[in-house]
Amino acid sequence: MAKNGTLANCKDLQPSFNSVSGQITIGIDLGDRYSQCCVLGPEGDILTEGRVRSTPAGLAQHFQELPSARVAIEAGSHSRWISELLTTWGHEVIVANPRNIRMITSSHRKSDSVDAHMLARLARVDPKLLSPINHHSSRTYPAMAQIRARDLLVRSRTRLVNAVRGIVKVVGTRLPACGSPSFPTKAAPCIPDELKPSVLPLLTMIAHLNVQIYQFDRSIEKLAHDQFPETDRLRQISGVGPVTSLHFVLSIGDPNRFKKSRDVAAYIGLTPRRRQSGDTDQQLRISKAGNPHLRTLLVQCAQYLLGRFGPDSDLKRWGAQMAVRGGKNSKKRAVVAVARKLAVLMHRLWVTGEQYEPLRNSKILATTS
């Protein structure tokens, strides 16, 4: 390592790396301007450490000419393009899930150099300890960007609607119950005169967001139909629309990487956490691992299925039976349970290509009884 703390140039270290028999392991703690690196030899000894610029040119200067190495980085805003760049140079890249490496995130001696050192050590022993994740490819990332942009607009609209309702409620006025698309039209006549200068601009912004969200919906539906035709299989289920089906397909990627469809529910974070020790085996809340937006969309679909507008189906009957038994939280547990079964069903339809039958199990029971 140089005196200024930067990583030694790979050209200077090339002879020593070539003389090493075995795989080199590199841990990189990514930063916005600089990234801290730690290079380990096959025996676990530190060959060099320091920082590099978090730019394509800076990374190329140090890693492009190195022999094939195992590189561990944490998931973050820079991890996608850096992992693709390192992969093109012949390196094995492991993108660690920071949620599952508490010895790094909750360390009492946390620093960039310590984190890089720990990433390299864990990658050298067993990459599975890092709970590696897969980034979206260059083909799928633009579609995911559209979904995230739409979600940001929807959340902004929700905050504005709630703000308007709260502002007028203070003066004793209650706005009519209605959906967000019709909110500006129905709320405008009910605004008190003294509040119109402050509230009407908010209604104008909500109306503008409605137009933008509608355009996103049309674009996402066309994108799903043209580039991801497998989403049509998932939309056979009532309540599953273009956004949910496309988000599901993009998040799962390759459906065959799951041996069982039930594993998808755990991947999304809809299965209960477990804490078992001796004779104690507690039933905890869901893990909430994976993509939170996809999990929210599946829960919204489950709420629709169990609601009064949801058509009759095996899922609805099963969820309704669960909702009527138990305590005051039985309805919430039923919604999450239906969302979990919905994720399994969507994966099964995707893999098998079968035609969805809403009352398949009910028909079988009626025939055998």
Nearest to 23 by CA among 57, 69, 92, 60: 69
* pLDDT given for residue 251 in this prediction: 93
* pLDDT given for residue 279 in this prediction: 74
276's enclosing H/E stretch is strand 272-277
Q: Is the pLDDT of residue 20 over 70?
A: no
* pLDDT given for residue 3 in this prediction: 39
Tens digits of per-residue pLDDT, 23-61? 899 999 999 999 999 999 988 899 889 999 999 999 999
At residue 361 the predicted structure's pLDDT band, cuts being 50, 70 and 90, is confident
* Pairing mode of beta strands 46-53, 24-29: unpaired
Mean of pLDDT values over 143-153: 96
Distance CA 144, CA 149 (A): 9
DSSP type of residue 340:
H
* pLDDT given for residue 6 in this prediction: 67
Tens digits of per-residue pLDDT, 212-260? 999 999 999 999 999 999 999 999 999 999 999 999 999 999 999 899 9
* pLDDT given for residue 169 in this prediction: 94
* pLDDT given for residue 188 in this prediction: 94
Its pTM stands at 0.84
| Least confident window among 113-117, 203-207, 277-281, 298-302 | 277-281
* pLDDT given for residue 181 in this prediction: 94
Fold of 10-130: Nucleotidyltransferase; domain 5 (3.30.420)
In the chain, DSSP finds a helix count (H) and a strand count (E) of 15, 7
Mean of pLDDT values over 295-317: 94
* pLDDT given for residue 5 in this prediction: 64
Q: Is the pLDDT of residue 339 over 90?
A: yes
At residue 67 the predicted structure's pLDDT band, cuts being 50, 70 and 90, is confident
Distance CA 233, CA 254 (A): 15
- What sign has the CA pseudo-torsion 264, 270, 275, 281? negative
Distance CA 49, CA 37 (A): 5
CB atoms within 10 A of CB 239: 22
The burial of 347, by beta-carbon neighbours within 10 Å (0-12 exposed, 13-18 middle, 19 or more buried), is given as buried
Mean of pLDDT values over 155-183: 94
**């601009």: which residue's tokens?**
201
Residue 260 tokens read as 């069982």
- What sign has the CA pseudo-torsion 287, 292, 296, 298? negative
| Least confident window among 74-78, 101-105, 131-135, 150-154 | 101-105
* DSSP sequence for 105-152: HT-SS--HHHHHHHHHHHHHH-GGGG----PPPTTTHHHHHHHHHHHH
Mean of pLDDT values over 137-146: 90
Distance CA 232, CA 240 (A): 10
The answer to whether 89 and 63 are in contact (CB under 8 A) is yes
* pLDDT given for residue 15 in this prediction: 54
Q: Which residues contact 105 (CB under 8 A, 6 or more apart)?
A: 98, 99
Q: Is the pLDDT of residue 4 over 70?
A: no
* pLDDT given for residue 21 in this prediction: 59
Nearest to 237 by CA among 182, 313, 166, 164: 313
HSE on the CB side for 49, CA within 13 Å?
19
